[in-house]
Every structure is written in C-alpha cells, then in structure tokens.
Amino acid sequence: MSNMKIVDLAPVLLLYSTLVAPAQSDSELLPYVFEPLPVGSIKPRGWLHDTLRAMGDGLPGNMAEFYVYVSNSTWVGRGYQYTPIAEGASYWFNYIVPLAYGLDDERLKGQVKWFVDYVVDHIPEDGWVGPPLPDGGHDLWGRFPFMLGLTQLLEADPSYVSRVLPVMFRFQEIMNGMLHDNNRGYSGWGAARGHDMMMTTQWLLEHHPEGQKQLLVDNLWMLKAGAFDWSQFFSKAMFPKGNLDMLPDAGIPFEFVHVVNLGQALKWSGVVRRFTHDDTLIQTAWDSVNWTFTYHGSAASAIVGDERIAGTSPSRGAELCGVVETMHSLSYLFKTIGNKAFADRCEATAFNSLTVMTTADHWAHQYVSLTNLPFSHRLPETPFWNVNDVGVTYGLEPHFAELTRSKPCCTTNHPQGFPKFVSNMFVKVGRSGLGHALLGPGSVTATLFRDNTVTIDCETTYPFGSTLFYTINAKKTMYFLLRVPEWALPSSFIREGTSPPSLLTPNKKTGMHLLKIAPGRTLLTYTLHSALRIESRPRDTVAVHLGPLLYALEIQALVSSQPARAWNDNRHKLPDSHLVPQVLDYAMHNASAWAVAIDPSTITIVRGDEQLPLPNPVWTPGGPPGWMEVVGCEIEWGIERGVPAEPPLKGQRRCTAPPRKWRLVPYGSAKIHIAEFPTVELGAESVSEDTEYVGLKEGPQVPLREEKYDL
C-alpha cells in the first residue's frame, strides 16, 4: 500500500519496544504512554449516554439551580459554603465541565459559563481566585478542583482561553509566592493532594506555557517539596497491612490513611515521575495499587475506608468520593505508566462500586456502601470509624460524621465519576494511533499525524454483553489499539468486516492489541469471552465475577422516601428554599432473606439477549439482561453493630432451611445486596430440577413514596 510511507510508525513501534516512552532531553515532562484526547472529543453512547443524560437531568445537572453550596455559594458572591476552604462549588465545576461537554448539553454549558463569568469578573486586586478564608487569608486546596475544571474547559471550548488563561497564570504566580513563603496556605488537604495541582501545572506546560515555563516548573518542584510524600507511605516500612482498628498506633499522619486522600494519591507516582523522571516511581505506582487493594480493597474494587482505611471486611464502608477518585487515579496511571492492570481495575471500580452507590435517576447517592449491605436505612448503631448512622442511605447529603466533621463533599464530588470515565475511554497512541482504553459504548473524533481525520464509533452493551461493534472512518492509514482485559479468555477474537476472525495478541504489559486500519470505512467486531471467576476472600468466603462485573445476591427491597435531610442535622427536613421535589432521602428494607451461603460449584450463567437494546436505566433492580443461578441455603448469620456481622466461619454454616436456587445479579444494579458469600457444599442435586426460582421477577421496582420513614 503506497500510503504506508506517509504514516509515522515510529512512535507506535517505539512504544512496543520500550513501552515506557523515553525522556526527551528538550522536554520537562515525560510523554504519556497513552495520551489523553481533548475533553469533548469523546462522546458516550448506549448505556453510558443514558447514564450521563440521567445525571444531567438529575442532581448533578441541577445543583446550579438549587443546591445552595453551588447556586448560592461564596464562589458566586453569596453566603453558602460548608467549609471555610470553599471546596464545594470547586468540586462541582470539576465535573460539570466534562458532563456538559460530554453530553453537548447547552443548558449545562450555560451553567459552566455562569460560573466562569462570575469568578473571572470578580478576581480581586490581589489576583486570588474564589473566596478567601473568613479572616482574609488564603488556602490553596479549594482551588485545585476548579483549576482542573478550567483545564478541561479550555480543551472543550478554546474560546475561553483569552479570558481564563491570564487568571490561571496569575494564580500560578500567587501560589509560587505562597510556596516560597514557607508553604503558606499549603497544608492539610492541600499538601495531601498537591498532585492535583501538579496536574493543572503540567497541563499548562504542555498546552499553554506562554513563555512561563520557569514559573511552572518551579511550582511543580515546590508543590512536591511541600507535599506529604506519598512514596514514603507507599513503602514497606509505613504502609499499614490491615485494619487500623486492630493495629498498634504507628503514628501515621491521618492525611495518609484518609480513604479519599488515598484514592487521589494512587496517581502520585505517575504525576511526580512526569517531571522528576524518577523511574523508581514505576514500582511505587504498582505497589501503591497492589497494596491498597490487597490490604484495603473490596470485592467491588473500592478502597474500604469509612473515612479511615479499614482492611478488607465486607462489613465496613467504602466511601463514594474515594470511589471516583480511585477511578480517576487508575485511568491516569494507565495513561502514564501503561500497565493493563490499572485499566482493568478502573473498569471494575466504575461498573461495580460507582454504579451501586447512586439511585438510577441520579438524584440520590450513598456516602458509604458495604459489600454486604442487605438494607439501607438509618442504623441503630454503626461499625464505622467515623461515619454516622445515615451514611449507608441514599440521599442528598447523607454525610455527617462527628469526629472529623466531614462535610457533604461527596454530593459535589461524586458526579465526576462517569464524565471522566468517558473522557478517558479513548486515548492517542504515538502520532498515528488511537486506543480504546476503557471499554464501553462511545465515539471519538481525532485528527492524527498529517491531518488524518479519524472517527471511531463503538456500539456495545458491554459490560453486560461481550461484543463491541466498531465503525472506523479514517482518511489515511492509522493504528487502532484495543485493550484486552486480563480476564479475557484466549478464545476471544477480533473480526474485520466479513473476514475470518483472528485471535488476539495483546501486548503483555499494556494489554493492547494492535490493528492496522486502512483508509476508508472499516467495520470491526470484537468479542470478549470470559469465564466465571470465583475470588477467594477472607474468612473462607467468595466473590463471584464474570468479565468486569461482580455478582450479588438479589434481595427484594421495600423502598420508602422522605424529603431530604441536611448533613449537619439529619433529623429535620431541609427548608423548602433548599430543595426541589425530586430530592429525596430513601430507606430500603430487605423484603427477602439475605443470610445465605452458596455452593459456588452449582453456579449456572443465564446470559441476556445481547442484541436487545438495554433498558434505560440499566443499573437498577431488574435492569441488567443476564443473571446467575446458584444453589444455597439460609444460615444463621447475625447483625453486629447495625450491619451483617463478618460472615460466619466454615464450621458455623449450618443450613436453617432446605437448599434452594438463588439468583445473583450484577452488583451495580442491586442497591441492597450480599456479595461476599460464605460457602457450603450442597451440590446441584440438593434441589430438584423443577424447583422454581423464588424472588424478584418483575422489572424495576417503583419506590413507595412515603413520608417520615424513620422518625
């Protein structure tokens, strides 16, 4: 093919020989292994579009209208903030940009403009961005999410550049002065999360250095020098290998063991290595993820921590803010370090832990979820380190915790999860390649080397279905890289048009399968086969996985709702002026048994119809097309400190009722669930062939609207 000559293969080949792109002597920053594409160039399709649409129509797209910490926040000259460091509206901005531009929604873009206009038009004499502390002082942290939002905005809509860039540079100068003034305003959350500001600073270096390279590079080094050094925490000497409640106090600073900080800090090594060029951080990145999930990870791929990390127990909480920060870190590590395990885990966290923690209409969310949580209501007592008695309920701000006086940060921070997942689905590889990094339905438009305009459109019901259908339009030859998850069986295949299928040969480290795509239109079918995976969990329990999905016992729910309560007074309804009618707090009670042990050898998989469009919403009871059946029996399994006790040990699992078949469904759809199971040996013969499945048969349950469920 003659046009082979004009394609620049070098970067792709280089990538495949060294995998970690080399430092270029004239560049301050190591290049990405997989480069991000501009926000807005990737659009969600299928269930991901439905999810972002529901977010746009639900709480995330309406906070600017009524949620006082956004609509009437100190950032827009009104009085509301839930903390003097003014992070609430800043968090909001960090997600509303990718949500608005991912959906291409004019109403949401209007919210972005409203906020930017106000902030930019009200920069005071001293150049500070956003509200100062009540005493007039300056604290850096509250600006970090806003700055990340601005980087996304300038990619999505460059018409903002001329107004916004001077504000960003002025802030870089002010920050430089503060950092050189003994790290004034850079402590606590700021110093624990300094890498978030390093990301913005690196973005400026790469996209708009404007002759200010020295200032930016100095800020990178100063931010690092004043930060909590996470490489110290991610060392054999310090990293806590168990539940801190059980370990002697090792004097580890709280900032290191705070679950949201830890989720955010998983990207530390990737961010810092980009400018220090310190390759020992590759191992640190790997250890940080491995140890975090080995010693503090849940079966749903969340970090277990009810404010403070808490081991691997299914009876302890995983915080929603921690979930979305973990996803963001993992997708960043995949782009900078390139190990496939980071992307696999990012999908698992997204499809299991993120989906389960919001209602399908995206008006309510949990603060913490437990892998074994067969009800979701005000708890009579709690097992948590520092989360209150409504932390497991779905609501507007189910957040209050006495000790750290934790605030409704998750309300404004959690919606970054799926919009940023979408922004990270596709990546640029070298000069002539595009990759599908996080799998799911979506499309991308990009211009590659020598003006090669490419669009890739992926239709799929993945992660429910196993086939991804691609339509690629390329002006010239290009390279397309498909991520092959670790769990994919060798029988998985790719097929171009009507040609015979070929097996996959993914790169060992990145998991990417490389395809050369000819100019014109190309149709690809990518089919992933997965086997049932029974994961051993502590105390002789198991978790059941198929592909990236965790499966949970289907439990019938009795749902009731009431107008929302406030984070700092959850006994009384918020005033009407702080609410819209859709905002409700929910209570969910189990209406079927949950204390069940299963025999994993009896699991049968019932696959849904892959051709059907998925129901909308899909992450709701009765939504997903497939399920599993398993033989199990009820056992004695008590409640301890308000939630299911640790699963009974092997000798204590006596059936209290005859064995029968139970249904397992995708965890994200099962708002109340058991997913870390005690096992029993029963055998398929223990139930007769025609034993009817008992349980939830109808589609999505309609919540009962009852006021005052719990008072």
| Residue ranges binding ligand NAG (CB under 6 A) | 68, 71-72, 78, 290-291, 294, 577-578, 590-594, 639
Nearer Cβ to ligand NAG (189/677): 677
Nearer Cβ to ligand NAG (290/604): 290
DSSP string of 326-365? HHHHHHHHHHHT--HHHHHHHHHIIIIIIHHTB-TTSS-B
User: Are the C-beta atoms of 659 and 686 separated by less than 8 Å?
Assistant: yes
User: Comparing C-alpha atoms, which of 32, 343, 8 is closest to residue 203?
Assistant: 32
Nearer Cβ to ligand NAG (65/210): 65
Which is it for the CA torsion 280, 286, 287, 289, positive or negative? positive
**Angstrom distances, CA of residue 678 to CA of 219, 546, 595, 640, 662:** 52, 19, 9, 16, 14
* Token pair recorded at residue 137: 């002082």
Nearer Cβ to ligand NAG (625/695): 695
Q: How many CB atoms lie within 10 A of CB 237?
A: 7
Residue 386 beta carbon to ligand NAG: minimum distance, rounded to whole angstroms? 24
d(CA 303, CA 293): 7
User: Comparing C-alpha atoms, which of 393, 364, 470 is closest to residue 426?
Assistant: 470
Residue 291 beta carbon to ligand NAG: minimum distance, rounded to whole angstroms? 6
Nearer Cβ to ligand NAG (233/594): 594
Residues pairing with 305 in the sheet:
309, 318
Residue 544 beta carbon to ligand NAG: minimum distance, rounded to whole angstroms? 21
d(CA 350, CA 327): 7
d(CA 390, CA 410): 14
- Relative to beta strand 452-460, strand 467-474 is antiparallel
Within 104-160, where are the H helices? Answer: 106-121, 144-156
Nearer Cβ to ligand NAG (165/639): 639
Nearer Cβ to ligand NAG (290/691): 290
Residue 212 beta carbon to ligand NAG: minimum distance, rounded to whole angstroms? 37
Nearer Cβ to ligand NAG (193/660): 660
Nearer Cβ to ligand NAG (71/111): 71
d(CA 233, CA 283): 14
DSSP code, position 488: B
User: Are the C-beta atoms of 99 and 153 separated by less than 8 Å?
Assistant: no
Residue 683 beta carbon to ligand NAG: minimum distance, rounded to whole angstroms? 25
Residue 262 beta carbon to ligand NAG: minimum distance, rounded to whole angstroms? 16
User: Are the C-beta atoms of 528 and 509 separated by less than 8 Å?
Assistant: no
Residue 594 beta carbon to ligand NAG: minimum distance, rounded to whole angstroms? 6
Residue 596 beta carbon to ligand NAG: minimum distance, rounded to whole angstroms? 11
Residues 6+ apart with CB under 8 A from 158: none
Nearer Cβ to ligand NAG (235/592): 592
Residue 201 exposed, middle or buried by CB count within 10 Å (0-12, 13-18, 19+): buried
φ/ψ (deg, to 5) at 218: -60, -40
d(CA 212, CA 217): 9
Q: How many CB atoms lie within 10 A of CB 289?
A: 24
CB hemisphere CA count around 385 (13 angstroms): 23
User: Are the C-beta atoms of 40 and 156 separated by less than 8 Å?
Assistant: yes
**Widest Cα–Cα separation across the chain:** 79
Residue 558 beta carbon to ligand NAG: minimum distance, rounded to whole angstroms? 9
**Angstrom distances, CA of residue 681 to CA of 232, 502, 659, 665:** 45, 40, 10, 21
Helix (H) or strand (E) holding 426: strand 426-429
Nearer Cβ to ligand NAG (225/580): 580
Residue 79 beta carbon to ligand NAG: minimum distance, rounded to whole angstroms? 7
Nearer Cβ to ligand NAG (577/611): 577
Residue 339 beta carbon to ligand NAG: minimum distance, rounded to whole angstroms? 10
Residue 304 beta carbon to ligand NAG: minimum distance, rounded to whole angstroms? 17
User: Are the C-beta atoms of 591 and 558 separated by less than 8 Å?
Assistant: yes
d(CA 403, CA 484): 44
**Angstrom distances, CA of residue 156 to CA of 99, 251, 257, 708:** 11, 44, 35, 44
Nearer Cβ to ligand NAG (159/577): 577
**Angstrom distances, CA of residue 38 to CA of 42, 87, 205, 430, 455:** 8, 25, 16, 15, 14
Nearer Cβ to ligand NAG (258/377): 377
Nearer Cβ to ligand NAG (71/315): 71
* Token pair recorded at residue 168: 């960003």
User: Comparing C-alpha atoms, which of 320, 313, 417 is closest to residue 371?
Assistant: 313
φ/ψ (deg, to 5) at 232: -70, -40
Residue 529 beta carbon to ligand NAG: minimum distance, rounded to whole angstroms? 24
* Token pair recorded at residue 153: 């905005």
User: Are the C-beta atoms of 590 and 556 separated by less than 8 Å?
Assistant: yes
Residue 297 beta carbon to ligand NAG: minimum distance, rounded to whole angstroms? 11
Residue 698 beta carbon to ligand NAG: minimum distance, rounded to whole angstroms? 17
Residue 110 beta carbon to ligand NAG: minimum distance, rounded to whole angstroms? 16
Nearer Cβ to ligand NAG (173/486): 486
Residue 428 beta carbon to ligand NAG: minimum distance, rounded to whole angstroms? 28
Nearer Cβ to ligand NAG (380/500): 380
Determine the Cα angle at 302 with ends 300 and 308, to 5°.
140
